[in-house]
């Protein structure tokens, strides 16, 4: 059903209901938080005169919110693109509905890859498809400015979280595994894959904010055009070794060790640029967990520890306090610490 929807400072007309590729122009309320956070990131980075591209713009809601909610100085120009004529009409109507008329705006009706290739490049590119971002990565990265931001959403979660390890190998060039950390490990596998596409163009893509929420992954990469920085990125592609019997884990350059399952290769660097997350001022609960979350690779899950070692669970909050650990957005019963499992068991 075509409905009038208010999100942030934007009012749009779009279809709601069951999520589907077939729906004419679709508005997904679950992605409100995804769009909210993109506004927080651009606001906090506060770089002026950005050339912004939305190659998969759908109803245009994200771009309309950028125009209405970001300080004017941030946007030099903004291009909405969608290969669906109905989407393009909807973008035009929604801009009118919001009384937006500006020379800064362009609307295109092309296949996203053609749109990107025929452009001169952008400072911010938002890849927000249904499913995997794979088809768009090459051209988005090629057209990303030297110090640009690439934002990527992926709803292709089962392919990254160990349900189909063969699919992970084929599409994301690594081995996944289903365990309590699968969302973090899947996110790190996806980050590495995107970084490898970056390094072939000598673009070092460092995550400044990467998370899993509501069945999708979302990553903001800061680009740096530099061979040396690319080498530094590749150094941080390693394996995550996990012993399901003891819950021991470690990062390793090697893809074999007795009693350990090998996951990856994956990104072992930071998921959050703390200079950025510290500066984000928000009441959003989810972002406030991330603000406190450490950049340690992997986490422990209290339920999993309790089950594995047949012990009673204390509250996650108390455990986090006792261990001087940090919470993690990946799991409400998870916590991040550098302590070994034996040390944790002694303390809880």
Ligand X SMILES: C[S@@+](CC[C@H](N)C(=O)[O-])C[C@H]1O[C@@H](n2cnc3c(N)ncnc32)[C@H](O)[C@@H]1O
Residue reference for tokens 């928000």: 282
- Rounded Cα–Cα distance for residues 74 and 54 (Å): 15
Distances (CA, A) of 24 to 27, 105, 253, 270: 10, 23, 48, 39
Sort strands 216-225 and 237-242 into parallel, antiparallel or unpaired: unpaired
Question: Which residue of 15, 50, 62, 224 would you call a contact of ligand X, by CB under 6 A?
Answer: 62
- Rounded Cα–Cα distance for residues 194 and 172 (Å): 9
Q: Which residues pair with 11 in a beta bridge?
A: 6
CB-based contacts of 253-256 (< 8 A; 24+ apart in sequence): none
- Rounded Cα–Cα distance for residues 131 and 203 (Å): 24
The DSSP secondary-structure symbol of 211 reads: E
Nearest distance in Å: CB 80, ligand X = 9
The answer to whether residue 82 forms part of the interface with ligand X (CB under 6 A) is yes
The answer to whether residue 69 forms part of the interface with ligand X (CB under 6 A) is no
Q: Looking at 51-59, 244-252, 262-270, 291-299, which segment touches ligand X (CB under 6 A)? A: 51-59
The answer to whether residue 150 forms part of the interface with ligand X (CB under 6 A) is no
3-state secondary structure of 220: strand
The answer to whether residue 52 forms part of the interface with ligand X (CB under 6 A) is no
Binding mask 90-119 for ligand X (x = CB under 6 A): ---------------------xx-------
Q: Residue 81 or residue 175: which is nearer to ligand X going by CB?
A: 81
Angle between helices 182-199 and 227-235 (to 10 degrees): 150
The answer to whether residue 61 forms part of the interface with ligand X (CB under 6 A) is yes
Q: Residue 57 or residue 210: which is nearer to ligand X going by CB?
A: 57
Site for ligand X in 8-47 (CB under 6 A): 31, 35
Q: Looking at 58-66, 212-220, 311-319, 337-345, which segment touches ligand X (CB under 6 A)? A: 58-66
Neighbours of 100 (CB within 10 A): 16
Nearest distance in Å: CB 96, ligand X = 18
The answer to whether residue 130 forms part of the interface with ligand X (CB under 6 A) is yes
The answer to whether residue 137 forms part of the interface with ligand X (CB under 6 A) is no
Q: Which residues bind to ligand X, rule: CB under 6 A?
A: 31, 35, 56-59, 61-62, 82-84, 87, 111-112, 128-130
């Amino acid at each position: 059903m075509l409905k009038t929807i208010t999100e942030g400072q934007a009012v749009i007309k779009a279809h709601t209901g069951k999520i589907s590729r077939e729906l004419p122009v679709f508005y997904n309320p679950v992605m409100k938080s995804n769009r909210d956070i993109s506004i927080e990131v651009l606001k906090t980075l506060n770089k002026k005169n950005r050339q912004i591209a939305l190659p998969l713009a759908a109803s245009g809601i994200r771009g309309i919110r950028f125009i209405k909610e970001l300080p004017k100085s941030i946007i030099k120009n903004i291009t909405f693109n969608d290969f669906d004529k109905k989407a393009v009409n909807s973008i035009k109507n929604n801009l009118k509905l919001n009384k937006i008329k500006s020379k800064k705006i362009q609307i295109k009706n092309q296949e996203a890859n053609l749109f990107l290739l025929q452009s001169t490049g952008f400072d911010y590119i938002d890849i927000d498809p249904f499913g995997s971002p794979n088809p768009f990565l090459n051209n988005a990265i090629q057209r990303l400015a030297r110090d640009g931001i690439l934002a990527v959403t992926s709803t292709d979660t089962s392919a990254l979280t160990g349900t189909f390890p063969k699919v992970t190998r084929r599409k994301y060039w690594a081995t996944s595994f289903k365990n309590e950390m699968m969302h973090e490990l899947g996110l790190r596998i996806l980050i590495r894959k995107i970084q490898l596409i970056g390094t072939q163009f000598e673009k070092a893509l460092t995550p400044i904010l990467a998370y899993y929420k509501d069945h999708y992954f979302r990553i903001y990469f800061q680009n740096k055009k530099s061979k040396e920085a690319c080498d530094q990125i590749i150094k941080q592609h390693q394996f995550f070794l996990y012993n399901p019997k003891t819950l021991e884990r470690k990062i390793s350059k090697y893809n074999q060790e007795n009693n350990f399952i090998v996951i990856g290769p994956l990104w072992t660097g930071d998921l959050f640029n703390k200079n950025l997350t510290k500066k984000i001022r928000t009441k959003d609960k989810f972002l406030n967990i991330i603000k406190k979350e450490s950049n340690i690779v992997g986490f422990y899950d209290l339920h999993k520890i309790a089950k594995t070692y047949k012990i009673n669970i204390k509250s996650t909050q108390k455990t986090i306090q006792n261990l001087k650990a940090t919470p993690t957005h990946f799991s409400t019963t998870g916590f991040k610490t550098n302590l070994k499992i034996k040390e944790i068991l002694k303390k809880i």
